[in-house]
Amino acid sequence: MTYESLVLCQRTVDLDFDYLKELRMQNFRSEEEKMSIAVVLVMHGIPPRDFPKGEMMELFGLHHRLLQASESERVALRNRHDVLEEKMRNWPRTPENDPFHAASLEIAHALKEILGTDVIVGFNEFCTPTIEEAIGEAASRSPEKIIVTTPMMTRGGEHSEKDIPEAINRAQKLYPDMEIVYAWPYNISDVTGFLAGHIKRFE
């Protein structure tokens, strides 16, 4: 082997070593970043199947009336509405009476396995924890950043465009030193790519 060949081989080894060292450093930095992030997964929430039907109908009726009530009427309506809403949100959940709740926890667990970081579920309505409570739980774990996300991918929805940002703003005031990021909206190409891949499984 010529001297030039030896030098070339040595340079190749050095480059490979440096490349592997950089990869290890990137992986190390990636792990460090994961440790400093908490994720809040916002789901819609549904009423439990065994919640008293009469009270459920009363709650929905009060919600509709509040939208049209005068300021003087709103106080009394709001008090009763909040009592019923609190009762529904705190109703014990099981896979039988709320399969959506069970599926939400299942998604969060799977997401935690992929990301390697805490994933806390929060619900927009009908169930606890609320979005603010979920963010509070995430903040109690002292991450450097909280990332809020939701599977509500379509733009124009009231929950994803209004309710969730408003809840994040309220939580941000409670935790002014915490960086809270809303990972939304979705890129249309990502959504269509996901749907296309899913559709192909059924061809």
In a domain, 144, yes or no: yes
pLDDT of res. 42 = 98
Task: Name the stretches of the chain with pLDDT < 50.
Answer: 1-17, 19-21, 23-25, 28, 32-34
pLDDT of res. 73 = 87
In a domain, 30, yes or no: no
In a domain, 8, yes or no: no
In a domain, 10, yes or no: no
Q: Are residues 57 and 135 in the same domain?
A: no
Q: Are residues 100 and 174 in the same domain?
A: yes
In a domain, 108, yes or no: yes
In a domain, 162, yes or no: yes
71: how many CB neighbours lie within 10 A of its CB? Answer: 6
pLDDT of res. 4 = 44
pLDDT of res. 71 = 86
pLDDT of res. 202 = 97
d(CA 178, CA 91): 31
163-195 confidence digits (pLDDT tens): 999 999 999 999 999 999 999 999 999 999 999
How far lies 22's CA from each of 17, 18, 25, 31, 108, in Å? 9, 6, 5, 14, 32
Please tell me what DSSP assigns to residue 183: -
Instruction: Tell me the sheet residues that pair with 181.
Output: 147
pLDDT of res. 22 = 57
d(CA 120, CA 80): 30
pLDDT of res. 6 = 39
pLDDT of res. 126 = 97
Q: Are residues 117 and 132 in the same domain?
A: yes
The boundaries of the domain holding residue 194 are 35-48+95-203
CATH of the domain at 115: 3.40.50.1400
